[in-house]
Amino acid sequence: MDDRKKKILQSIIDDYISTAEPVGSRTVARKHELGLSSATIRNEMADLEEMGYLTQPHTSAGRIPSDKGYRFYVDQLMRQSELTVEEIYSIKSAMETKINELSQLLKQVSVIMSRITKYTSMAAIPERKNSVLKAVQVVPVERGKALVIVITNAGTVKNSLIKISETVLPEFLISVSNIFNEKLSGLTIEQINLPIIREIEILIGSSQEVLMPILNGVIDCIEQIDSAEVFLEGAINMLNYPEFSDVDRAREFLNLMVEKDLISRVLKDISVDNDGVVIKIGKENDIEEMRDCSLVTTTYTAGNLVIGTIGIIGPTRMEYSKVLAAVNFMKKKMQEEVEKLIGKDPGRT
Amino acid sequence: MDDRKKKILQSIIDDYISTAEPVGSRTVARKHELGLSSATIRNEMADLEEMGYLTQPHTSAGRIPSDKGYRFYVDQLMRQSELTVEEIYSIKSAMETKINELSQLLKQVSVIMSRITKYTSMAAIPERKNSVLKAVQVVPVERGKALVIVITNAGTVKNSLIKISETVLPEFLISVSNIFNEKLSGLTIEQINLPIIREIEILIGSSQEVLMPILNGVIDCIEQIDSAEVFLEGAINMLNYPEFSDVDRAREFLNLMVEKDLISRVLKDISVDNDGVVIKIGKENDIEEMRDCSLVTTTYTAGNLVIGTIGIIGPTRMEYSKVLAAVNFMKKKMQEEVEKLIGKDPGRT
DNA sequence: ATTAGCACTCAACGAGCTAGAGTGCTAACA
DNA sequence: TGTTAGCACTCTAGCTCGTTGAGTGCTAAT
């Protein structure tokens, strides 16, 4: 792959990204001054096609990049771009709202990213393994009702309304609450096991009557934490792109986006052991239905603990450089916010 | 409008609802045995068109119902239908999951309704005026951090993580919490005013340092309650109908559905002073973009207090009888669940 | 009042044609 | 030897045009 081929490939991909039309040799010769005739470029394009970087929808059409072409573009050709000052300003002002829970932050970040990129954005807390319980509280609400609250190091607050015997006194509930808190906080979700529950049981002393509802409440909260939270914004943006001008295609995509579990799993798989930005192009995605989408994701951390993943999904013909800039910027921004929110070192409490 | 005309109109609308194709006189004569020739029906159809119940897409096509036609159909012609045993069974089993917050219930009901009807479903708590605070609690989380929890009579639990001075002792926090709880619970959101806050301030005695963060937390929670919660499910279902086979049309609809505020307002407007089922057909909707959609909504109550609204949105050509049956059934089902959840008489506590 | 019959209308469909964008090859050129 | 002008060829998109058929409205017969 000589220098001239690179330049031509870059021109073609740049052009195709902005127009969504197959690019012909004439267009390349005209728009991007390489000082070459269309015939020469034609020859080079034939070579590039043979090498697998380009394909032809049909004989008399121009070329469009293949997944391999995009991959090469992303790895070697793409010009690095930065967000405009307006964009940065709009992000900053959007981030000014008061945020006091991680899920709020994720939602907001998601909205911002989809607005900036005009693609679909995702934000998730997929790594439940890392969740350490920070506090467990039982609060009396009214006679016969109490609220179990579980707070994790990741800033997630979950609660579950439970019924308890009306005879239980609020004071007793508070002491029970303290026992739960003492025994469970500091543990990861996976560390909660039968022996620990047994221990609590013994400490409380009294009958199952109190223990069970609370325990169920705690379990309920943990299940809520466990069910990976995924925020997805701007799915409808995709309908603006010619790739999705067919309703069937659009429906297929949107149906995919509804499957939060799937999205969560995809994000999780990608982000494992990788703290840079990961780009998955077309068929590089495991999911069949995402074969003509690309994914640009990265993880956000607090201290050196990976908390979750944010990313953008768009057509393979996406503005990679812009998306990359946006994702990188938001990663940094998120980092700051997360640290403000849950502290630099969420491991210890 | 004589009896024969009614029968013919009914046949046409029934047919159009199931096929989405303009209905011709021949079809009516053949499919629905009225003992009449197509010519007679043709004459009647011409009359019905003149009366405004039918329209013709173009001269040589069959007729389709106008909004007025649907209105007449819904009011007078429609056969009442019931859910099948399978549907009822599927609803019941879907409702078995443990639910302990109103928003969970709404979400679930929404999912069920969209699955049963194959249209888009909505569920909302639009009436914040009715929200009475049931409990206000401040729970210490860790040094310098506390959680403010607000629970309303409608079963909504909201929380807000706040920072407080590290010097504040947990015991003090609890007594402050009690003061807040005592002073605020039982009030509606609108009843909280400056004099009450002043009263709390005096009772606490100590400096603003403690009062302010907690108050901000409470305000934050109230704002969360205030921001009308709307659950919307199955928007993508609409892409299955020929009405939305055009991407622009589909996008327009989906963009509308993203506007939760708008939906919330629409629901609120409709449900005012009406506890039956309200059907809004086509242009009867105030929103321009909903001109070829119909809305079937109803309110759900606890005791005799209106809590919120549930409903279905679909193309004007929707299966009204089925949707009506589903909405009615879900209304009852919801009633039961709401009462289980927040008690028969949420007004007093 | 109903209906058979008929002329008429119009969208949908497909065939056939054209325009034009693009290609690959060949031969000439620097 | 690499580059380019020229040319024949290919193929889609878009157009026209005729055909088909579903449906209508009107008229005259029952």
pLDDT single digits (tens) A262-282: 999 899 888 776 778 999 999
A347 within some domain:
no
Whether B154 and B286 map to the same domain: the answer is: no
The count of structural domains within chain A is 3
Pair of tokens at residue B227:
């921001």
B273 vs B95, more confident: B95
Amino acid B27: pLDDT: 92
Interacting residues of B27 by C-beta distance below 8 A, sequence separation 6+: B15, B62
CATH of the domain at A105: 3.30.450.40
* Cβ-based burial of A209 (10 A; exposed 0-12, middle 13-18, buried ≥19): exposed
Q: Give A69 CA → C22 C1' in Å.
A: 21
Q: Which residue is nearest to nucleotide C2 (CA to C1')?
A: B40
Q: Give A281 CA → D11 C1' in Å.
A: 30
**Residues in A lying within 8 Å of B, measured between beta carbons:** 98, 100-101, 134-135, 137, 139, 141-142, 147, 149, 151, 155, 157, 159-162, 220, 236, 239-240, 244-247, 250-251, 254-255, 258, 349
Query: Is there a contact between B245 and A250 if contact means CB atoms under 8 Å apart?
Result: no
Q: Give A58 CA → C17 C1' in Å.
A: 21
> A223 to chain B: nearest residue by CA?
B98
Chain A closest CA to B20's CA: distance in Å? 17
> B348 to chain A: nearest residue by CA?
A142
Pair of tokens at residue A220:
């309920």
Amino acid B229: pLDDT: 84
Write out the E strands in A107-165: 120-125, 133-142, 145-152, 157-163
Amino acid A348: pLDDT: 38
Amino acid B172: pLDDT: 87
Name the one residue in this structure whose structure tokens are 């000082």: A35
Residues of A in contact with B349 (CB under 8 A): 142
Instruction: Kindly state the average pLDDT of the residues A245-255.
Output: 94
Whether B214 and B270 map to the same domain: the answer is: no
Amino acid B349: pLDDT: 34
Rounded to the nearest 5 degrees, what angle is found at the Cα of B294, between the Cα atoms of B335 and B43?
Answer: 130
Last residue of a domain, one of B200, B226, B252: B226
Inter-CA distances, A59 with A26, A55, A56, A63, Å: 15, 10, 7, 9
Does pLDDT of A332 surpass 50? Answer: yes
Inter-CA distances, B275 with A222, B4, B126, B132, B331, Å: 38, 34, 14, 21, 10
Query: Which one of A104-118, A290-304, B133-147, B154-168 scores highest in mean pLDDT?
Result: A104-118
Q: Answer positive or negative: Cα dihedral of B164, B167, B170, B171.
A: negative
B264 within some domain:
yes
A348 within some domain:
no
Whether A40 and A151 map to the same domain: the answer is: no
Does pLDDT of B347 surpass 70? Answer: no
Does pLDDT of A349 surpass 50? Answer: no
Does pLDDT of B121 surpass 80? Answer: yes
Name the pairing type of β-strands A229-233 and A277-281. unpaired
Helix A194-204 and helix A208-226: axis angle, to 10°?
140
Residues of B in contact with A159 (CB under 8 A): 149, 157, 159
> Which of the four pLDDT bands, split at 50, 70 and 90, describes residue A132?
confident
Whether A233 and A338 map to the same domain: the answer is: yes
Percent of the residues in chain B that have a pLDDT greater than 70, as a whole number: 95
Amino acid A347: pLDDT: 47
> Which of the four pLDDT bands, split at 50, 70 and 90, describes residue A327?
very high
Whether A20 and A98 map to the same domain: the answer is: no
Rounded to the nearest 5 degrees, what angle is found at the Cα of B337, between the Cα atoms of B336 and B341?
Answer: 120
Percent of the residues in chain A that have a pLDDT greater than 70, as a whole number: 95
Q: What is the pLDDT of residues A140-186, one digit of tens each?
A: 888 888 899 998 887 788 888 888 888 888 888 888 888 999 999 88
| Residue B25 belongs to domain spanning | 3-77
A243 within some domain:
yes
Least confident of A164-178, A317-331, B288-302: A164-178
Nearest nucleotide by C1' from B37 CA?
C3
> B220 to chain A: nearest residue by CA?
A98
A33 vs B229, more confident: B229
Whether A119 and A153 map to the same domain: the answer is: no
Does pLDDT of B208 surpass 80? Answer: no
Nearest nucleotide by C1' from A23 CA?
C22
User: CB of residue B280 closer than 7 A to nucleic acid strand D?
Assistant: no
B347 within some domain:
no
Residue B166, SS3?
Answer: coil
Q: Nearest by CB to B251, from A141, A239, A349: name it.
A: A239
Mean pLDDT of chain A: 89
What φ, ψ does residue B187 adopt, rounded to 5°? Answer: -90, 150
Nearest to B322 by CA among B7, B111, B74, B109: B74
Last residue of a domain, one of A181, A197, A226: A226
Least confident of A107-116, A209-218, A338-347, B180-189: A338-347
Whether B337 and B234 map to the same domain: the answer is: yes
| Contact (CB, 8 A) for B262 and B256 | yes
B348 within some domain:
no
Chain B closest CA to A135's CA: distance in Å? 6
A154 vs B312, more confident: B312
Whether A272 and A338 map to the same domain: the answer is: yes
CATH of the domain at A44: 1.10.10.10
> Which of the four pLDDT bands, split at 50, 70 and 90, describes residue B154?
confident
Whether B120 and B221 map to the same domain: the answer is: no
Q: What is the pLDDT of residues A216-236, one digit of tens each?
A: 899 889 888 877 789 999 999
Task: Give the whole-angstrom CA distance, residue B221 versus residue B159.
Answer: 6
Amino acid B150: pLDDT: 92
Write out the E strands in B118-242: 120-125, 133-142, 145-152, 157-163, 229-233
Q: How far is CA B194 from the centre of its chain?
A: 34
Instruction: Kindly state the average pLDDT of the residues A4-10.
Output: 95
Q: Nearest by CB to B135, from A100, A142, A155: name it.
A: A142
Q: Give B57 CA → D24 C1' in Å.
A: 12
User: CB of residue B63 closer than 7 A to nucleic acid strand D?
Assistant: yes
Whether A238 and A219 map to the same domain: the answer is: no
Amino acid B348: pLDDT: 38
B62 vs A131, more confident: B62
Q: Give A44 CA → D1 C1' in Å.
A: 16
Task: Give the whole-angstrom CA distance, residue A101 versus residue A122.
Answer: 17
Query: Is there a contact between B147 and A147 if contact means CB atoms under 8 Å apart?
Result: no
CATH of the domain at B170: 3.30.390.60
Last residue of a domain, one of A226, A246, A265: A226
Q: Give A39 CA → D10 C1' in Å.
A: 17
| Contact (CB, 8 A) for A279 and A74 | yes
Whether B234 and B106 map to the same domain: the answer is: yes
B288 within some domain:
yes
Whether A26 and A92 map to the same domain: the answer is: no
Q: Report, in ranges, which bases of strand D sit under 7 Å from a protein C-beta.
A: 3-6, 9-12, 21-27
Amino acid B126: pLDDT: 66
Mean pLDDT of chain B: 89
Nearest to A231 by CA among A88, A314, A112: A112
Inter-CA distances, A330 with A107, A230, A262, Å: 13, 17, 23
B135 within some domain:
yes
Pair of tokens at residue A250:
């659009």
